Amino acid sequence: MTESMTECLGDQCMTACQYAHLGEDHYTSIMKGCANATLCGANGLGKAEKFKFKFYVNCCSGNLCNTDGYYLPKEDPTPNGVTCPSAYCNDTMEECEADEEMECTGSMVHCFDYREHVINEGGKDKKYSMKGCINPDSCKFSFDTDVGVVVKEKRYAKCYDP
């Protein structure tokens, strides 16, 4: 891990924590730097078959105030009455057909459909397509919270009400 100090234009710093589980792969990250006010306080959650992600962004005011550690939002397992198509497909950016629906929980009140081509931390190309449940904060950031990967191509990203 590399640490350095940077001067921010405003007086706000941030800590952003992320977790992703894609098939057999798990990724975590923590990033500290100058705050982007639109991200402050965001708690992202999403899940599908063989996929789960979480992120949290904490902002603070003052020099070097972002000394907080790794934190992620807790999942509320309580069913919320929303159901979404659920699917996860490897090696394709074509629409993944959903044979089943999943019961959404907690704050995940929207459905999503997402397709992407990435290079993971090991340098391996990977394409995938998925559908599942997602919360409003995740939709607000248009899936721009990838962790552990470099995005080569984002083919499709959509949040919608069931």
With residue 27 as reference, give the H or E element that holds it. strand 25-34
Per-residue model confidence (pLDDT) at position 146:
53
Does residue 41 come out as left (phi exceeding 0), alpha (psi in the -120 to 50 range) or beta? left
Complete domains list, the chain, with CATH? 12-61 (no CATH), 79-160 (2.10.60)
% of the chain beyond a pLDDT of 90: 28
Q: Are 12 and 34 in contact (CB under 8 A)?
A: yes
pLDDT tens for each residue of 3-43: 677 888 777 899 988 888 877 778 888 888 888 788 888 88
**6-10, 128-132, 150-154: range with lowest mean pLDDT:** 150-154
pLDDT in tens, 68-80: 888 888 889 999 9
Closest CA to 142 of 120, 118, 114: 114
Residues 46-65 pLDDT 10s = 999 888 989 899 999 988 89
- Please classify residue 34 by burial: count the beta carbons closer than 10 Å to its beta carbon, then call 0-12 exposed, 13-18 middle and 19+ buried: middle
φ, ψ at 36 (rounded to 5°): -105, 110
Bridge partners, residue 160, by sequence: 111
93's CB contacts (< 8 A; 6+ apart) are 115, 116, 117, 127, 128, 129, 153, 155, 156
Rounded CA gap, 70 and 110, in Å?
26
CA dist 129 and 116 (Å) reads 7
Mean pLDDT, rounded, of the chain = 84
pTM over 0.75: yes
